[in-house]
Amino acid sequence: MDPVRLTIAPELAGTSGSAIHWLWRQVFLALGRPWQEVPLTAPCDLAYVIAPEQAPAAHTVILATPERWAAPGSARLVEVALADAPFVIRYADDANLPMGVERRADGCVVPRDVLFDLYWLLTGQAERHWPQDGHGFYDLTGTTWAATRLLELAPAAEIVGWLQDQLEHLGPASPRWPGGKRAALAITHDVDYPEVVRWLEPARIVARQRGNGLGPAWRVLTGQTDHWRFPQWMEFEASFGARSAFYFVARQGSLVEYARGTPDPFYDVTAPRFQDLFRTLRAGGWEVGMHASYRAYESEERFAAEKAKLEAAAGAPVLGNRHHYWHMNPADVEETLQMHGAIGLLYDTSLTHDRYLGWRRGTNIPFFPYSQRSGQEIGVLQLPVAWMDAQLMQRTDLTQPQRETLACELIDRTATHGGLFVANVHDYVFDDELYPGWLATLRAGLEHVVARGDFWIATPAAIAQHWIERYRILREASAGLTLGLPDALRR
């Protein structure tokens, strides 16, 4: 496969060079195409320049806006226009920018800096303007993001799809997913309450279901019902040909700590019951992953110790992680993401919103994040989460059929982008009596995926290993775009 010939205006290589190189690497990784940097005057497939005349022999010219790169956080979203790709998002000061592609006999000129739009989305520039609660959860009330349901649209993936169309003349790219599949699906479970606290859980049930919860609450109180449903989960998923990941918290919390603001679960992964479970899960092809404790991000040593403890209990390396409560450093998420590499993780799947359905960074395509502070690509893969169970099930404005429809629509959008659908369903919601409709929503989604027949269903670890190997192969076939690349990835 011939590489994509790319030229970049030298004026852009200053303070923004590392970010621009990182972004193009993620684009070509998503597209499955190797790359080659060439001089401005050389014939090329893509040019990222200040003015069209800088690259007279380019097929597709994207005009950069250095002033945007100088202050990326100042851009404020005001409008979404998904049908106008690549001009998907518009900022408050875009009034005088042309919004049409200039077609030429041998290509086109894009007058808007859509590469910056990708950077703005993938690095979460808007997040610095949103209020956060005590857990670091963002409140999007009154924002364009909420009004347009932008998170569910995956605008970054839309832009990548447009770029893919511009390179069709180069012939087929490397397939994104194994077996010729169009998209991928991973089921994940945050293991928060595998064991019922019999004097506490009944109150939670009644608070959730009111009068309808009295019977289930009594059965929990008297020991007739519990949350240990791992065998049932395995049987359920195997019926769809699926294997999932269960994320366990290695740090054992307490009710006192919970009351004081550290809500870690109460179970002990070193107990014989859990060690037996880990062996059973691994033998069947399920993944045992890490659910980093609420404050794990505060100390690399603490984080590493949790990983080592879980690995010792599971008898195998831990490849992936999700933070409990999605709780990373609320002031600097990338600092936490960098810590993942330091403790030896292969992937993380924590970049999402607690309350809002869809993709926090605007993409359903796996990517390696970028540290704005260090100017380096972060070498731990991020698997974007599409849906957490509570995001639909706690919405009282929806009927159960509407919840299932929304989940299936999100799956279809993932397929449109050739992306990855990561579902997060908590371990304790299997029982329909305790959590009516929660399992049914996942079942509806899986039935839809199986009926489509074009999704690769795999564990997150398998998906991460595939994506990382894909990146290695593409890098070895490429030349250039090395700014901001970690030393471990340089040839």
Q: How far is CA 408 from CA 1, 65, 365, 443, 488, in A?
A: 35, 38, 18, 10, 40
pLDDT > 90: what percent of the chain?
Answer: 82
The answer to whether residue 380 is domain-embedded is yes
**CATH number for 291:** 3.20.20.370
Q: How many domains does the chain have?
A: 2
The answer to whether residue 479 is domain-embedded is no
Residue 75 has pLDDT above 70, yes or no: yes
Question: Which of 140, 174, 208 finishes a domain?
Answer: 174
Same domain, 164 and 200: no
Amino acid at the residue 179: G
The answer to whether residue 482 is domain-embedded is no
Of the candidates 329, 316, 210, 200, the one whose C-alpha atom is nearest the C-alpha of residue 266 is 200
Q: What is the pLDDT of residue 213?
A: 62
pLDDT > 70: what percent of the chain?
Answer: 93
CB neighbours of 383 closer than 8 A, spacing ≥ 6? Answer: 186, 320, 347, 348, 349, 366, 420, 422, 460, 463, 464
pLDDT band at 224 (very low <50, low <70, confident <90, very high): low
Residue 195 has pLDDT above 80, yes or no: no
Alpha-carbon span 318 to 194, nearest angstrom: 19
- Residue scoring higher pLDDT (14 or 485): 485
Residue 221 has pLDDT above 80, yes or no: no
Same domain, 130 and 12: yes
End-to-end CA distance of the chain: 20
pLDDT band at 88 (very low <50, low <70, confident <90, very high): confident
- Residue scoring higher pLDDT (81 or 234): 234
The answer to whether residue 480 is domain-embedded is no
Q: What is the pLDDT of residue 432?
A: 84
Same domain, 215 and 302: yes
State the pTM of this model.
0.95
Same domain, 157 and 206: no
Exposed e or buried b per residue across 208-247, where buried means at least 16 C-beta atoms within 10 angstroms of its C-beta: bbeeebeebbebbbeeebbbebbeebbebbeebebbbbbb
Question: Which of 139, 174, 209 finishes a domain?
Answer: 174
The answer to whether residue 234 is domain-embedded is yes
Same domain, 201 and 313: yes
Strand partners, 90: 79
Centre a 10 Å sphere on the Cβ of residue 195 and count the other Cβ atoms it contains: 17
Q: What is the pLDDT of residue 249?
A: 99
| Long-range own/partner contacts, residues 81-84 (CB < 8 A, 24 or more apart) | 82/153, 82/155, 82/158
User: Average of pLDDT values for 205-212?
Assistant: 65
Same domain, 168 and 282: no
Of the candidates 340, 402, 343, 397, the one whose C-alpha atom is nearest the C-alpha of residue 371 is 340
Where in the sequence is the domain holding 301, given as residue range(s)? 178-473
Strand partners, 387: 423
Residue 47 has pLDDT above 80, yes or no: yes
Determine whether 25 is exposed, middle or buried from the number of CB atoms within 10 Å of its CB (0-12, 13-18, 19+). buried
Same domain, 78 and 216: no
Q: What is the pLDDT of residue 467?
A: 99
Question: Which of 174, 209, 229 finishes a domain?
Answer: 174
Alpha-carbon span 10 to 39, nearest angstrom: 10
Tell me the angle at which helices 438-452 and 400-417 cross, rounded to the nearest 10 degrees. 40
The answer to whether residue 481 is domain-embedded is no
Model confidence pLDDT, tens digit, residues 370-404: 999 999 999 999 999 999 999 999 899 999 999 99
Same domain, 109 and 193: no
- Residue scoring higher pLDDT (95 or 42): 42
User: Average of pLDDT values for 229-240?
Assistant: 98
Centroid of chain to Cα 398: 25
Q: What is the pLDDT of residue 219?
A: 67
Same domain, 148 and 125: yes
Strand partners, 382: 348, 367
Alpha-carbon span 389 to 189, nearest angstrom: 10
